[in-house]
């Protein structure tokens, strides 16, 4: 399946996004939030897989303010150096505003049933958490989000269902930070947390840290979650 690149118009400028639709052209919407590698092959594949599963998926370019059209498809030393350089310049506050722009746009795409969720990975996992706190998304899913522990003061703003997939051997989110997230969200009936005995990016299919069994389990839970809250 091949999607298309479209243009989104936000309050502070226009930026591109990758859009993938189901064969029938109809379904709930999902905004897929990028890692630090931009809207690359992996993110487009996630959107394509969601489209096959019956969702209209949109991947906004959240690095457009820094460098439009970033696509880092490797995991070599140079790839990571470039990605972390971009990440260091990224402002999550303007990024989450762009996520809201994508959500609003997707609600009005022909064929979308009016409901839109988010799913994000790494940086995107963090932004999926912030989406639960700051956007009007109907539900949100974060995979191994980096930095959630520093924003737990916003947890009381969560109004819609949130699912977090935590990699317990994550080199970028140490056990102390993971526990802080669990403690900070404990007791919130809208939040579901699943643990996986893997490293960061265990769901990046084809990546160095990919673990099929855990990725399949997380993705299955995500699809069931979306079908429950967006159907």
43 neighbors 82 (Cβ within 8 angstroms): no
Taking each continuous run of H as one helix and of E as one strand, the counts in the chain are: 6, 8
122 neighbors 201 (Cβ within 8 angstroms): yes
Q: What are the start-end ranges of the H helices in the chain?
A: 41-52, 77-89, 92-107, 123-134, 175-185, 212-230
Sheet holding 4-10, edge to edge: 4-10, 13-20, 56-60, 27-33, 112-121, 139-143, 162-167, 191-196
* Beta strand 191-196 pairing with 162-167: parallel
Collapsing DSSP to helix, strand or coil, 62 comes out as coil
Q: Catalytic residues, which ones? A: 170, 200
For 68-107, give the secondary structure using H, E and C. Answer: CCCECCCCCHHHHHHHHHHHHHCCHHHHHHHHHHHHHHHH
């Amino acid at each position: 399946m091949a999607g298309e690149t479209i243009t989104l118009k936000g309050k502070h400028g226009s930026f591109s996004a990758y859009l993938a639709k189901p064969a029938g052209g109809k379904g709930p919407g999902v905004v897929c939030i990028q890692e630090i590698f931009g809207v690359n092959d992996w993110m487009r594949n996630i959107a394509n897989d969601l489209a096959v599963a019956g969702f209209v998926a949109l991947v906004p370019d959240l690095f457009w303010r820094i460098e439009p059209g970033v696509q880092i498809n490797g995991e070599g030393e140079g790839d990571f150096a470039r990605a972390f350089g971009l990440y260091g310049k990224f402002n999550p506050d303007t990024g989450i505003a762009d996520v809201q722009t994508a959500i609003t746009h997707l609600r009005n795409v022909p064929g979308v049933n009016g409901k839109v969720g988010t799913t994000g990975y790494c940086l995107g996992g963090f932004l999926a958490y912030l989406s639960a706190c700051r956007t009007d998304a109907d539900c949100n899913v974060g995979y191994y989000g980096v930095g959630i522990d520093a924003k737990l003061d916003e947890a009381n703003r969560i109004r819609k269902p949130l699912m977090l997939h935590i990699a317990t051997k994550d080199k970028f989110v140490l056990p102390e930070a993971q526990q802080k997230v669990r403690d900070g969200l404990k007791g919130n009936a809208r939040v579901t947390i699943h643990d996986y005995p893997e490293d960061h990016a265990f769901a990046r299919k084809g990546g160095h840290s990919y673990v099929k069994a855990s990725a399949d389990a997380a993705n299955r839970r995500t699809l069931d979650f979306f079908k429950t809250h967006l159907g």
